[in-house]
Amino acid sequence: MQIEPIISYHNVDHSLAVENLVRRRIKMLERRDNRITECEVTMEAPQKRKPHGRVFKVRLNLHLPGPDLSISREIAQGSAQDDLILAVNRAFTAAEKALKKRKKKMDGIEVKHHPPVLHGEIAELEPELGYGWVQADNGRKVYFQRDSLTSDDWERLDKGTRLRFREMQGDKGAYAASVTIAD
């Protein structure tokens, strides 16, 4: 974690046992996802103090690359100290499940890899038919057509004109895509 966790209490007495539990559970979250940059834990209760049946709310905000994760859990049963510990545990358990679900979802996304940008010059050009061949700097000869140009510069093309393009594989072999004039 890049920033020290923020643990705050609102209308709840500070407890070393609860704070140790929170820090231990934060470490468990970090083991599940090491990309967590910041964690904010807020434990709160209504102002009216009761020895039994007090409502405790624990909010957990995890800052991650992409959308942040916010979890909130409320508990109202049993003695006050037990309720706070139960609320903390439930909030962190929900956060672990959410991180697991998020990781599973992110793992399912395939990242599209783009071919590298190549440079070359026009070796052959058929302006009337709308296609030509680029001799890439790596020695390969690659087909391109008028529709491959990213701008309407077809009239500026001539044999020997330097181009920038991405080499793609098609049914009939290699072709140039995203073709621009290299100025």
The structural domains of the chain, with segments of one domain joined by +, span 6-107, 117-181
Q: What gap in Å lies between CA 174 and CA 113, rounded to an integer?
A: 17
C-alpha to C-alpha distances, 1 to 34, 62, 90, 163, nearest whole angstrom: 7, 10, 22, 46
Predicted pLDDT at 54:
73
Alpha helices in the chain (DSSP H): 16-32, 80-107
Residues pairing with 139 in the sheet: none
- 170 with 147: CB under 8 angstroms? no
> For residues 119 and 101, what is the distance between their CA atoms, to the nearest angstrom?
43
- Are the C-beta atoms of residues 137 and 119 closer than 8 Å to each other? yes
Radius of gyration of the chain (CA): 30
Q: What is the mean pLDDT of each run of 10 residues along the chain (183 residues)?
A: 88 90 93 90 79 80 89 75 82 92 74 83 94 94 93 90 93 92 86
177, two tokens: 């895509």
Residue among 121, 124, 95, 126 nearest 33 (CA): 95
- Tell me which of 2.40.50.140, 3.30.950.10, 3.20.20.70, 3.40.50.2300 is the CATH number of domain 117-181: 2.40.50.140
Query: For residue 109, what pLDDT is reported?
Result: 65
Q: Which amino acid is at 147?
A: D
Q: Which CATH superfamily is domain 6-107 in?
A: Ribosome hibernation promotion factor-like (3.30.160.100)
User: What pLDDT is recorded for position 12?
Assistant: 86
Pairing of strands 173-181, 162-170: antiparallel
Q: How many CA atoms lie within 13 Å of 85's alpha carbon, on the beta-carbon side? A: 12
